Chains A and B, each alone.
Chain A
Amino acid sequence: DADVTQTPRNRITKTGKRIMLECSQTKGHDRMYWYRQDPGLGLRLIYYSFDVKDINKGEISDGYSVSRQAQAKFSLSLESAIPNQTALYFCATSDGLRDGYTFGSGTRLTVV
């Protein structure tokens, strides 16, 4: 099994729908992150969490919310999806030391 698992891998949804992207990890890391990737813009941080009771907004949190259900699980929600939220979404984990981030394989989300 992958260290960081994201579900679903692909999702097409309609404007205005609520959608949840899920992330689980077996790394045992405390820190978890949600990024979106857009062509030409790179990876941008949406939310991050240092433990179950700690949630922080990132660079582009508007229109998104998160839930840290357990050390191993961190979900991202779009309450009312809009087309400009069409992107590739990545979950990542870190132990805060010098080993960088471990990324999942991503969720490709299309909002029509």
Chain B
Amino acid sequence: QKEVEQDPGPLSVPEGAIVSLNCTYSNSAFQYFMWYRQYSRKGPELLMYTYSSGNKEDGRFTAQVDKSSKYISLFIRDSQPSDSATYLCAMSLDNNDMRFGAGTRLTVKP
């Protein structure tokens, strides 16, 4: 079993849809949770950062962490074609040695 599981997709949605991306993990000691966005032929860029449990909202993006279920989610509201990218979840014990999911490829169609 992988330490971090993420459905690779691909996921295709129409413009304006709500997108839900998810990861599960096995190490209950993880405290830091992140979502990265990676465009083709680019490095990942940090999208959302959450420490411990709870929700965090930033514009059209909402990150949720449920430590009791070892499950994290990223929601994208009013999705745009520019949101088309691969989304990677990441988590760690101490903000170092980040463990990444395999990434979910998202396409938002105009």
Contact = CB atoms under 8 A, between A and B. Distances in A.
A79 to B, nearest CB: 24
A21 to B, nearest CB: 14
Contact of A98 (B42, B51, B90, B102): B51
Given A41-B102, A42-B88, A103-B45, A97 B96 contact: no
A34 interface: no
Residue with the highest number of chain A CB atoms closer than 10 Å, among B4, B90, B101, B102: B102
Given A43-B90, A94-B95, A99-B49, 18 more contacts: A31-B96, A40-B102, A41-B102, A42-B4, A42-B6, A44-B100, A48-B97, A58-B97, A90-B44, A92-B43, A96-B95, A99-B46, A100-B46, A100-B90, A101-B44, A101-B98, A106-B42, A106-B43
Interface in B5-22: 6, 8
Interface in B87-110: 88, 90, 95-98, 100-103
B41 interface: yes
Given A98-B49, A99-B46, A100-B46, A43 B41 contact: no
Given A45-B97, A45-B98, A105 B41 contact: yes
Nearest to A104: B43
A97 B103 contact: no
Interface residues of A, number: 25
